[in-house]
Every structure is written in structure tokens, then in C-alpha cells.
Structure 1
Amino acid sequence: MSTKEKVLQKLKTSTSYVSGEQLAQELSLSRTSIWKAIKELEKAGYQIEHHSTGYRYQASDVLDAAELTDGIHQKVAVRVLDSSVSTMKDAQIAVINGEAPPVLVVADMQEAPRGRFNRPFFAMEKSGIYMSLLLKPETQLHELPQYTVLMAVAVAEAIDALVGVETQIKWVNDIYLNGKKIVGILSEAMMDVESNSLKHVIIGMGINFSVPQEKFPAELQEKATSLFAHSEPTITRNQLIIEIWNRFFALLEQKESDYLTVYRKKSFVLGKRVTFERQNQQYAGKAIDISDTGELIVDLGNETIALSSGEISLSSIQ
């Protein structure tokens, strides 16, 4: 552990001001080393209050692996990166390297973010949450869509609880706030070719946390927003990440969960007219339900069909 990390740990565990002299004595360091560590922490973005009696840590929006590890109730190997081409790829590499799941990769910036059907999405340094979780599931391939549904519920409820807003879920993997997208979620399966069995699941997401509304590209201004697009954040990204995964793991452990009831209640789609393309043919109908396996049930008038998230993307919702 570096001097900077030792000082940060001491400050975080103290509820009052800690003098430089006290820090130096407890860590067996010089006062100069303490002063340099404080400056390094502040340069990294940590908020530290200075007082005549010493230093005191203030909640800081800096992604912190130690804080995430301590806060998430489930034992998870947490890796925080300054930047990543794709946290989904980082999770795939963790499998190749033989790392034991669950592994959580969190990045301050994602250079090539993508969603379903390889669609790109907007990312901004230190203003979003870009993360992927590697899991070793005890389930079958046909149950994979339920991970996305469960994840959407965990994210939506975490945001609602911490920010005090009312989010909605657009089938199957987007979280909306005030009619605009703030989160995209993606689930992928990794198969064992020899046994044709499901070996790993990777759940990734991009969350627009504090992107100012004017920073979004012109073509996204009316479609996307962030949790704190017009004001200073009232929570840190660490706090939201911890809340999301604690809710996710709690839902995952429940044998009989009501997450589907919550998912349907928060649906941005149910009761609305939707259009989509299937096998090169255009369809339009009313979204009337979401099945227990995450399929969207649409009434076309002359028939009712079930849409799979893996093959269908809604063209419009009215």
C-alpha cells in the first residue's frame, strides 16, 4: 500500500480532524511525506478539508476500488481503471486469465463503448459509470435474458433510492429518466464449446452520471440525459455502484423474487404502441405484457407474439 493510500485510509476511518503530526506518528512517516500525500490525493480528485487542527476526508467522486470492495456485501474482485476500450472485453480477458468470478471492472472512461447490436453510446471522462461484472452462473442459456431484466430492476431501484427520482425501464435494457435514456445494460454469455454449456455471464452497463446536458452530441440532446445533467451530484459514483450491486446480488439470491413485478410496473413500453422489424418485415402493435423469461408480448390485432431481446429492437414507442 502506497503512502497516499495509507493516508487516505486513515482519513476515511476518522470522523474528526486528524493532524499531520498524528498521521505521521501512526504511519511512521515524516510530516513532509504526509503533506505530499495529501497534495497527491487532492490532485487525484479527493476532497480533503483543511483546518487548524488537521485534515478531514469529505465524500469525493473518485472511483475507489477499496471503497467499492468494502461497500459491496458480496465478495467481489474489484478492478478500477482510468480508461478502458471496453469493460466487457476486460471481463472476457479475466476469464482467459483464469480469474475467479465474480470480477467487477469499473472504468473512469470507456473509449469504445457499445450496447446491443454493437451500437455505440456516448461516454465522457469522470462523468459516467462504465462497468462490467463477470459471473459464473448456475443457470441455462435460455435463462440469460433474466439477468438483464434483474439488472435493470437493481439499477432503477438504486437510482430511485439514492437520487429521489422515478426512473422507467425501456424493454429490455435501457433506463429512462424524464423520457430520456440515462443507462444502457448489456448481457453476454460465454459458452463451453465442448459441452455446449453456459460457463460465464458478463453484465455490462454505461450510466450517464453527471454529463452536462449541453455536452451531449446534438443528435442525442432530445434522446439522452444524465442523473445530474443540470446540477451538482448529491451522491458519489462509488455510492451508486455499491447500491446497484448490493441490490443485484440480493435479488439474485432470492429463490422467489418479485423483480418481474417491479420490472413491469416501471416499464416505459407497456400499454404503448410499438413498431419493430422482424425477418425484414415491419410490424406495429400494442405492448401488453412482459413474460417471465423477459420477452415482450405484443398484440398485433390479429395475433399476439412474443419478442426476444436477442433478435428484436423496437423502432418506435408511442
Structure 2
Amino acid sequence: MNVKSELLATLANSDGKYISGAALADKLGVSRNAVWKAVKSLEAEGFSISSVTSKGYKLNEDNNRLSADLITPFLRTKEMGRNIQIFEEVESTNNTTKELDSDDVPNGTTIIANRQTAGKGRIGRSFVSPSGVGLYMSTLIRPEFSLEYAPMITAAAACAAAEAVEKLCGSPVNIKWVNDLYMNGKKICGILTEASFGLEMRTLDCAVIGIGINVRSAKEIFGEELSKTVTSIQDEAGVIVNRNRLCAEVLNSLEYYLGKIVDRSFLHDYRRREYLTGHLVTANIGREKISGEAIGIDDNANLIVRLPSGEKKHLSSGEANLCRIADN
């Protein structure tokens, strides 16, 4: 690590307390003037740092600059996020991550962008990803479980993202089957998992989990029409969440919930958050449109819908390309 990286990591670990220039110089093994120069350089790059005579330096809570040095101190993972690359702008973090896909890319490698120009949602939809507003990240995983568990990756990731958001903002988060997070009836997050299969589709070589979370207020950016259904953590909870800390918490929870797929124990958390259950819904299955009551989530993370005839349909994310609460 260079002086700037070490300085950032040290300030991130200070719990919001000031650290004197002398203490920083001693810890980093440089002169106080080198510390001052590093602080000024970081400020020029957009990091928000307070400097007070006789107190020292402190990384401000309102810092909105993404940095691996500000994420790593909060990681409690063995593999998730231990290899991080951050970009100012990409078309899609999922696409960038897939381009890295080779045998020497470690499990848990994570690509993060400050902005996406062509963010992706399910079934070809776009995910609006303005600069500095959201957390746009994709993580490559190399699952040790068999192919039958692959459809549950997105559901486990939804639990992870929901837990991370709740931890930092204190407001409840729901999951709209299968891949969206909601606060107060509006979407704050979308998840897209793309898998790479082995020969004859018998094995799951790897998967890329893309997570996009709207963090800061985006009412003016989204516009009146989109704001009717899409919102952000700040707009709903009134809290400005640090994107670096949120990224770390997502990765911490992701490693935990991915480890709960085989025994399906993550489904308890998924079910208690699930948004559609108890509502009348409509769903598109291929060219067929069905209507019925969502009555729960089965052991494969499929949505169970009871039709007016009494028949129960178990909808997989692969076949139901649109599922929403029915209009009254």
C-alpha cells in the first residue's frame, strides 16, 4: 500500500475520531509533511477529510467517494470482496466482471462502479445508474454446490442486500420475488444473476451476482414518472448511508447467505421479507398470463400462486418473466 492508501485505511478504522498528524506519521513511517501532502492529494480526488489544529485529521461521514481502502476495513469475509476493482464508469458491472472470467480470477472478486451507462435488469430491462447516487457492484462466485441450487443464488443475494441496508439505515426492507428490494412499497434495489455453465449444462462453473442499490436521493434524476415506483434509501429512510460501508456489509452478508443455500436455511429470512405473499398477483409465463393469490415461497425459492380454480402454480424465476401485484 502507498501512503495515501494506508492513510485512508487508518482514518476509516478510527471510528470517526480525529488522529493527530504526529500519530499518523508514526504509524505510516513518514514525515508529518508527507501526511499533510497525502491528505491534500486525497481531498483533490474528492475524499472529504476534516483537519483541525491540535486534533488532527478525520474522514467525514458524508464522504461519498468509493475506495477499496474504505471498504476493506469493514470486511469480515474470507473471500467475498477480497479482490476489489473500482471504476468511475462502466457500461455494466456484470459485463465487466464477466470479461474477467478466467480460472485465475479469485472467488469473490468484486467490480464496483460509480456510474453505469448501460446498467442491466432482468429480461433485458435497463437499470438507471447515475453517478454518485447508488452502489453498483457485481461479484463473481465459484459455487461448490451442484447445479440444482443455482436458481436460489439470486434469492440468497436478495437476503444479503436487504440485511445490509437494514443494518445501516434502520428501516425495514422487503423482497419482491425474486430479485427486487422495496422500502415503503417502492423499489430501491435490483439484483441480476448471470451464470456460466459447464459442458452440456451439467455443472455451474461460476456466476456473476449484480446488485444495484439506490443510496442517495435521486428524485430529480429519476423524474416524476420513474419516482412513482423507484426510490432510494435516503428518500425513504431519511438517512445518508455511506456507500463504502454499505458495500462491505453487502459482501459480509453475501458470503453468509451463499453458505446457507445447500441447507436452504436462508429461506426463513427470504420468506419473512417477501413482498408478494398475501396479494393477488399477475404473472407472465411465456405467452400466458395468469392471475391468482401469492401464498408463499417453496423450498426452491419459487413463488407459489393459487389460481381461482384452486390449482397451485410454482413459478420459477426462469419462467415467470414478470410478476406484479394485480391492479384493484
Could you tell me the TM-score, scaled by structure 1's length? 0.90
Describe the superposition over 1:168-218 as per-residue Cα deviations: whole angstroms up to 9, x where unpaired.
Answer: 110100000111100001111101236742110111111101033222133
Spell out, residue by residue over 1:24-51, the C-alpha distance to the aligned partner (whole angstroms, 9 max, x if none).
89543472x4433222212323222121
Query: Which of 16, 28, 31 does residue 30 from structure 2 map onto?
Result: 28
Name the residue aligned to 2:67: 64
Q: Give the whole-Å Cα distance in 1 for the aligned partners of 2:25 and 2:210.
A: 39
Residue of structure 1 in register with 2:38 after alignment: 37
Does the aligned pair in 2 maintain the 1:212–1:230 contact within 8 Å? no
* Ranges in structure 2 where 5+ consecutive residues have no aligned partner: none
Percentage of identical aligned residues: 32
- Structure-2 separation of matches of 1:26 and 1:98: 32
Aligned to 2:232: 226
Distance 1:155 1:304 in 2: 29
Counterparts of residues 103-182 of structure 1 (less than 5 Å): 103-182=109-188
Distance 2:106 2:297 in 1: 34
Return the alpha-carbon distance in structure 1 between the equivalents of residues 253 and 27 of structure 2: 40
Aligned residue in 2 for 1:8: 8
C-alpha distance in 2 between matches for 1:25 and 1:262 = 43
User: Aligned pairs, how many?
Assistant: 317
Residues 1-318 of structure 1: pairs in structure 2 closer than 5 A: 1-13=1-13, 15-19=17-21, 23=25, 27-29=29-31, 31=33, 33-53=34-54, 54-59=56-61, 60-74=63-77, 75=79, 76-96=82-102, 98-193=104-199, 196-229=202-235, 233-254=239-260, 256=263, 258-302=265-309, 303-318=311-326
Q: Which amino acid aligns with 1:287?
A: A
Deviation at 1:71, TM superposition (A): 2.2
Structure 1 position 23, deviation (Å): 2.7
Which SS does the other structure have where 1:95 is aligned?
A: coil
Cα distance, 1:131 vs. partner? 0.5
Return the offset for 1:150.
0.9
For 2:110, give the aligned amino acid: L
Find the residue that maps to 2:100 and give its secondary structure.
helix
Specify the code of the residue in structure 2 equivalent to 1:8: L
Distance in 2 between the 1:26 and 1:290 partners?
52
**How much has 1:249 moved relative to structure 2?**
1.3
Cα distance between partner residues in 2 of 1:243 and 1:34: 29
Q: Distance in 2 between matches of 1:265 and 1:62?
A: 34
CA contact (8 A) 1:20 1:35 kept: no
TM-score normalized by the length of structure 2: 0.88
Matched residue SS, 2:233: coil
**Letter in structure 2 aligned against 1:28:** V
- CA drift of 1:275 comes to 1.1
CA contact (8 A) 1:115 1:186 kept: yes
Which shifted more, 216-225 or 66-75? 66-75
CA RMSD of aligned residues (A): 2.4
Question: 1:70 and 1:13, CA in 2 relative to 1: closer, same or farther beyond 3 A?
Answer: closer
Take 2:165 and 2:114, find their aligned partners in 1: how far apart are those partners? Answer: 19
Relative to structure 1, the CA distance from residue 30 to residue 166 in structure 2 (aligned partners, 3 Å threshold; closer, same or farther) is closer
